[in-house]
Amino acid sequence: MSELYKGIKGFKQSGLKNILAGFVVSLIALPLALGLAIASGVPPMAGIITVVVGGTLAAALGGSHVTIAGPGNGLVVVILTSVVTLGQGDLLVGYTYTLGAIVVAGVLITLLGFLRLGNLADFFPSATIQGMLSAIGLIIIAKQIHVMLGESGVEAANNLFLLVETPNSIIAVIQSPEIPWVAIMGVVSLGIMASYSKIRNPIFQTIPAPFWIVVLAIGFYYFFYWFSEHEFPISNEFLIQIPSNLKESFVLADFSNWNKSGFLIAVVSITLIATIESLLSIKAVDKLDVYKRRSNINKDLKALGIATTVSGLIGGLPVVAVIARSSVNVNQGATSRWANFFHAVFVLLFVVLFTNLLTKIPLSALAGILVFTGYKLASPKQFKQMYNLGKDQFVIFIATLLATLLFGLINGILIGILVTFGVQLYLMQNRLEFVRTLLRPNTLLYEEEDGSLHLSVKGHSSFINYLKLKEVLDSIPANKSLILDFSLTTFVDNSVMEHIYHYKDDFKKKNSSLEVIGLDIHDSTSEHPFAARRMMRFTNFMKKGDVLTARQKRMKQFAKDLKWDFKSKSITELPLLEGFPFFRRKKLAHAYNVFRGEHKGVRVKLMDVEFYEGELFAKEVHKHTVLMLSPITPIPRFRLDKERIFDRIAGMAGFEDVNIDGHEDFSRRFRVKGKNVEKIKAFFTNDLVLFFETHPYYHLESDGKNILILKGNRISSISEVKALAIYGTELIEKLGN
Amino acid sequence: MGLIKHNIKPTETFTNLATALAFSPTAEALLSEAKRISERLGAKLLLIHAGVKNKVAEEKAGLLLEKVGIDSTKVKLIWQEGDPVKVLNEVCHKEKVDLLILGALKHEDVLKYYIGSIARKISRNPPCSLLLITNPQLTKHSLRKVVVTGDNHPKTSNTIEKACHFAVNFNVKKITIVEEIDPKKVKTKIDDNLTLEQAYHEKKDLQEKEDQRIFKILHKLPLDSDTDVTLRCVFGKKGYSISHYAEVKKASLLVMNSPDNRLGILDRFFPHDLEFVLSDMPCDLMIVHPN
């Protein structure tokens, strides 16, 4: 792909692409901005100010590429709460006080960017974030469903009760003596949002759903205006209020409440939620970017913080990066921040040119759009997904959700973190050790002699120390592949598994790979790939069902390709292996992930073996991947290796180095040892020597009947397993059985 | 990084060895380890018992020596009453011991860790070089991999020299010198693909510098034989990273510098350097004292 230019040059390079993408996004952004502002308890124009400030400042200063900035869903609840509490009933007063809080929060967000704390959002365990988002979705539904049905003024002690009031509102609509046009507009709007993705009509799909609603609503008005004798049946209180003089939309922030606790809570909530929502969106959008660019999140935070400050000063809402609008942006072929800029320009144009038209949109239609966004956040599918992650995650999710509904966002997420910690403690085996090493380093990154990168993680790996792991993962150069080794861990939590899963994608995008090893012997809390893992005791292992790890699944696939048999189950009877000198001083515990196959009449067995040296507290557990060949014709007993780590066993077995005549190079690179020198010399034919010289190095030994092949001293990655299997089959062919 | 062939002649490393004689379940194994090491190094072996000298104890000690095959007439056995840590410290000073061999647990339970066992108490302020054996064995076994600290510290040169000589005496074929670099030394902050690449190059430069420093130390060593000396550079917390490396690589001996100051209880709550190794020993540990 050719280089993408920045600035004006980039604009010229991309041609109309970004303008078009910006236009389509503006069709969604316009109704959403109006709706989100109204739902937040502030004038609709506040949403427009947010879009314009966000679109220009974030585009000019931002560090991401195709994200769209504007008012966000997550903040609706925070702003509404703040407006209501700070205004003590007077929404307009509450609005100006809230603007003060938004300005301060904007400054804080900018500071977070300067302090390079963009990573902090990754600290929050994923189930608590999901719980919080679903709670926000439910709150949005609870507030907006009554507006959608045209039943304003429904009140309840808390958001849960408000939601329970829904049937009453429906009954009120049904019982109303006149035609409930407001409710009909709302329900139609929700219907369009819900069915939009299912209607595959290309003409229908050219305009985004929210804009259809705008078009229909305005069309409805003009229908009455032109064709009907009746008056427009929806009174002004149910329509959007936009001042005819747009200058009146600007409201200045009021800081006089700065020392009140409500103000502080608002500042903290806005900072927290705006940061989390933005960072989640930026990360998600980076995955969509066709140019595989990595957003500079700290730079983006600074830009969003500055935009929020400016927006708050003149009457707008916090500016955050938003995922839904950004996805549309990417789909429409946006290549740079110019699209974000143009979406703001178009929204501004709409408002300036068609102010009068916009005031004909019923509030219930916008509420319909919002009910649908709320539903997206809290759909039954979300609940099911969380349940599939495992009971532990579901408990955390529900606890955070309920806590957020009952005690607000900040308390909700704090309770969520505490519950997560408690659940992990409950799952853990060695709790005291866990607490002791809670804040210690637990990662080691090193380059192997062959240049590949190896990252070993030890002890417990959870959301608590994930940021450190992330720092290491983020420092891997773009062209390097990584082997991530969890074999020294006793516990890996769900958040880490999920993050790693996403990292795999990132590595793939960069044309390198991230391979996770060492989790096969861990027990998982559910069958989901993100399920938390903990080290099993040996007895548990025997009972283990067929919950395969990603590595095992790929092994199984590989076995299928080779037409070999694959069983992940553990075997403890390993008489053949015990006969090899390699295992003479070691105690074999068990073998697992066993491949069984046949190649040219030779039985092949590839497996992960676990063995130990020493006993009791001095026990050293080792895990290797080994390949065993059982040829029919007898072969001499010998051992072949290059590295000398195995000399120890050889020394005890009393073997001698055998030099193969006429192959000085081979003799220099490999050590062949065995008792029966003549037979070994005869066995190493020119062909075989050439084979060894031209293939990667493996440790090889024969007990007279079988051949054992292994490499390194850890479990092999899947590509190494494949290489080992292929090496084995090629060796069989060379041996000419 | 890079593999260099280094040839080191076996020479004298430690001449005055000592070990604690206790009547614990692992005493026999520890004693036979000490005996083998002294024979290999051609060094004298001193036995220290912190306890009362009486008939029963003497008989027990005699029996133990006989079992292990130590000629009790040729070995000096010092009896001294008192706190074992103090006794060992005093005797080592007085007798000019240069390597004290002790048994130690790999992991200690949480309470014991904070109070400290004898072996760990001594390691935190050693009177001389120290060898902590985690898994003493009765029968002969050999060392495989030795991991040595490459810390940027005046003591390191001596430590590497001692470690290499010791390893060569035991026919170790693979010595890895681990240079731990504080990630904070990398000035470039990673924000995007460009800075990522810059940071990578900066790391490579830092590594090159560290490698050069170790090369200088290695060049001073006498040459012969065919031991592989590998340099391994890791970016991470000092003390922790080398310990983790030794564990991943299943090293049989880790060699570290002695601590500069006596390590106290606070160091156990906020571990650094050697304390990381002591809190979770990956394998046998040698702490080399500059004297």
**The pLDDT of residue B197:** 87
Reply yes or no on whether the pLDDT at A518 is more than 90.
no
**pLDDT band with cut points at 50, 70 and 90 for residue A646:** very low
Q: Output the six-digit token pair for A533.
A: 């893992």
Beta bridge partners of B76: B46
Q: Which of A445, A471, A488 sits opposite B247 (nearest CB)?
A: A488
Q: Long-range CB contacts (< 8 A, 24+ apart) of B123-126? A: B123/B274, B123/B278, B123/B285, B123/B287, B124/B259, B124/B262, B124/B263, B124/B264, B124/B267, B124/B274, B124/B275, B124/B278, B125/B259, B125/B262, B125/B263, B126/B100, B126/B258, B126/B259, B126/B287, B126/B289
Burial class of residue A337 (count of CB atoms within 10 Å of its CB; 0-12, 13-18, 19+): buried
Count of helices and strands (H, E) across chain B: 10, 11
Going by C-beta distance under 8 Å and a sequence separation of 6 or more, which residues neighbour residue A9? none
Reply yes or no on whether the pLDDT at A538 is more than 50.
no
User: Cα B149 to chain center, whole Å?
Assistant: 10
Lowest-confidence region among A156-170, A250-264, A444-458: A156-170
**pLDDT band with cut points at 50, 70 and 90 for residue A236:** confident
Reply yes or no on whether the pLDDT at A603 is more than 80.
yes
**pLDDT band with cut points at 50, 70 and 90 for residue A634:** confident
Find which of A68-77, A575-584, A675-684 is predicted with most confidence, using mean pLDDT: A68-77
| Average pLDDT score over residue span A57-85 | 91
**The pLDDT of residue A541:** 39
pLDDT > 90 fraction of chain B, expressed in percent and rounded: 26
**The pLDDT of residue A613:** 64
Query: Taking CB atoms and an 8 Å limit, are A293 and B193 in contact across chains?
Result: yes
Which chain A residues touch B245 with a CB distance below 8 Å?
444, 446
The residue of chain A nearest to residue B143, with distances taken between CA atoms, is A648
- The sign one gets for the Cα dihedral A383, A389, A393, A394 is positive
Which chain A residues touch B207 with a CB distance below 8 Å?
none
| Average pLDDT score over residue span A196-207 | 78
Reply yes or no on whether the pLDDT at B279 is more than 90.
no
Find which of A148-157, A529-538, B28-37 is predicted with most confidence, using mean pLDDT: B28-37
**The pLDDT of residue B208:** 92
- What value does the mean pLDDT of chain A take? 84
**pLDDT band with cut points at 50, 70 and 90 for residue A653:** very low
Query: Taking CB atoms and an 8 Å limit, are A444 and B196 in contact across chains?
Result: no
Which of the pair, A506 or A628, is modelled with greater confidence?
A628
Residue with token string 């026999």: B28
- For B51-80, give the DSSP string: S---HHHHHHHHHHHHHHT--TTTSEEEEE
**The pLDDT of residue B222:** 63
Query: Taking CB atoms and an 8 Å limit, are B247 and A441 in contact across chains?
Result: no
Q: Output the six-digit token pair for A671.
A: 């050590």
| Average pLDDT score over residue span A90-110 | 95
Query: Taking CB atoms and an 8 Å limit, are A475 and B276 in contact across chains?
Result: no
| Average pLDDT score over residue span A683-698 | 84
Reply yes or no on whether the pLDDT at A539 is more than 60.
no
Query: Taking CB atoms and an 8 Å limit, are A477 and B134 in contact across chains?
Result: no
Q: Output the six-digit token pair for B226.
A: 């065919």
User: Which residue in A466, A464, A532, A448 sits closest to A503, CA to CA?
Assistant: A466
Reply yes or no on whether the pLDDT at A22 is more than 60.
yes
3-state secondary structure of A594: strand
**In a mutagenesis test of the A interface, which of B244, B247, B268 is the best target, namely the one with the most A β-carbons within 10 Å?**
B244
A319 secondary structure, DSSP code: P
Containing B1, the helix (H) or strand (E) segment is none
Residue B239: how many other CB atoms lie within 10 Å: 24
Lowest-confidence region among A150-154, A624-628, B107-111: B107-111
Task: Walk me through the domains of chain A, giving residue ranges and CATH numbers.
Answer: 14-378 (no CATH), 436-535 (3.30.750.24), 556-735 (no CATH)
| Average pLDDT score over residue span A189-210 | 84
Q: Which of A444, A645, A714 sits opposite B241 (nearest CB)?
A: A444
- What is d(CA B180, CA B175) in angstroms, rounded to the nearest whole number? 16
Which chain B residues touch A482 with a CB distance below 8 Å?
none
Query: Taking CB atoms and an 8 Å limit, are A446 and B189 in contact across chains?
Result: no
- From B55's Cα to the closest Cα of chain A, the distance in A is 33
Reply yes or no on whether the pLDDT at A3 is more than 70.
no
User: Cα B128 to chain center, whole Å?
Assistant: 11
Instruction: Express each pLDDT in B88-142 by its tens digit.
Output: 999 999 999 999 999 888 777 666 666 668 888 898 889 999 999 987 877 777 7
Q: Which of B190, B234, B249 sits opposite A475 (nearest CB)?
A: B190
Is-contact B20 B84, C-beta < 8 A? Answer: yes
A3 secondary structure, DSSP code: P
Which chain A residues touch B230 with a CB distance below 8 Å?
449
Going by C-beta distance under 8 Å and a sequence separation of 6 or more, which residues neighbour residue A539? none
Which chain B residues touch A488 with a CB distance below 8 Å?
244, 247-248
Q: Which of A294, A436, A488 sits opposite B192 (nearest CB)?
A: A294
**In a mutagenesis test of the A interface, which of B114, B250, B278 is the best target, namely the one with the most A β-carbons within 10 Å?**
B250
Which chain A residues touch B134 with a CB distance below 8 Å?
618
Calculate helix-pair angle for A181-195, A209-227, nearest 10 degrees: 150
Query: Taking CB atoms and an 8 Å limit, are B113 and A475 in contact across chains?
Result: no
Which chain A residues touch B244 with a CB distance below 8 Å?
443-444, 456, 458, 488
Which chain A residues touch B138 with a CB distance below 8 Å?
none
Stated length of chain A: 737
- From B64's Cα to the closest Cα of chain A, the distance in A is 22
Distance spanning both ends of chain B, measured CA to CA: 30
Instruction: Express each pLDDT in B29-71 by its tens digit.
Output: 889 999 989 888 888 899 998 888 888 888 888 888 888 888 8
- From A464's Cα to the closest Cα of chain B, the distance in A is 17
User: Which residue in A329, A289, A290 sits closest to A208, CA to CA?
Assistant: A329
The residue of chain B nearest to residue A471, with distances taken between CA atoms, is B190
Percent helix, strand, coil in chain B, to 5, is 40, 20, 40
- What is d(CA A296, CA A281) in angstroms, rounded to the nearest whole number? 13
Rg for chain A (alpha carbons), in Å? 32
User: Which amino acid is it at A15?
Assistant: G
Reply yes or no on whether the pLDDT at A465 is more than 70.
yes
Reply yes or no on whether the pLDDT at A101 is more than 90.
yes
- From B99's Cα to the closest Cα of chain A, the distance in A is 23
> Which bin fits A593, alpha (ψ -120 to 50), beta or left (φ > 0)?
left
User: Which amino acid is it at A457?
Assistant: V
How do the domains of chain B map onto residue ranges?
3-288
Query: Taking CB atoms and an 8 Å limit, are B197 and A298 in contact across chains?
Result: no
Query: Taking CB atoms and an 8 Å limit, are A645 and B145 in contact across chains?
Result: yes
pLDDT > 70 fraction of chain A, expressed in percent and rounded: 93
Cα-based distances in Å from B47 to A37, B20, B33, B87: 83, 6, 13, 12
Q: Which residues of A touch B (CB under 8 A)?
A: 63, 116, 293-299, 432-433, 436-437, 440-441, 443-447, 449, 454, 456, 458, 471, 474-475, 477-478, 485, 488, 614, 617-618, 620, 622, 643-645, 647-648, 651, 713-714
Query: Taking CB atoms and an 8 Å limit, are A293 and B135 in contact across chains?
Result: no
- What is d(CA A77, CA A69) in angstroms, rounded to the nearest whole number? 18
Reply yes or no on whether the pLDDT at A650 is more than 50.
no
pLDDT > 90 fraction of chain A, expressed in percent and rounded: 29
Q: Output the six-digit token pair for A371.
A: 């009910």
User: Which residue in A147, A159, A188, A129 sits closest to A41, CA to CA?
Assistant: A147
Phi and psi (nearest 5°) for A239?
A: -110, 160
**pLDDT band with cut points at 50, 70 and 90 for residue A31:** very high
| Average pLDDT score over residue span A93-102 | 95
| Average pLDDT score over residue span A609-623 | 63
Instruction: Express each pLDDT in A110-148 by its tens digit.
Output: 999 999 888 887 888 989 988 998 998 999 899 899 999
Reply yes or no on whether the pLDDT at A669 is more than 80.
no
Dihedral through CA A707, CA A710, CA A715, CA A717, nearest 10?
-110
Query: Taking CB atoms and an 8 Å limit, are A617 and B173 in contact across chains?
Result: no
**The pLDDT of residue A702:** 86
Is the domain covering B3-288 a CATH 3.40.50.12370 domain?
A: yes
**The pLDDT of residue B1:** 33
Which of the pair, A735 or A727, is modelled with greater confidence?
A727
A115 secondary structure, DSSP code: T
- What is d(CA A455, CA A446) in angstroms, rounded to the nearest whole number? 7
- What is d(CA A253, CA A97) in angstroms, rounded to the nearest whole number? 6
Instruction: Express each pLDDT in B212-234 by its tens digit.
Output: 999 888 887 764 556 788 889 99
Query: Taking CB atoms and an 8 Å limit, are B191 and A296 in contact across chains?
Result: yes
User: Which residue in A527, A525, A518, A521 sits closest to A539, CA to CA?
Assistant: A521
**pLDDT band with cut points at 50, 70 and 90 for residue A78:** very high
| Average pLDDT score over residue span A667-679 | 80
**The pLDDT of residue B234:** 92
Cα-based distances in Å from A201 to A28, A206, B267: 19, 9, 69
Cα-based distances in Å from B211 to B7, B8, B109, B145, B254: 18, 19, 38, 20, 19
Query: Taking CB atoms and an 8 Å limit, are A445 and B135 in contact across chains?
Result: no
Query: Taking CB atoms and an 8 Å limit, are A444 and B110 in contact across chains?
Result: no
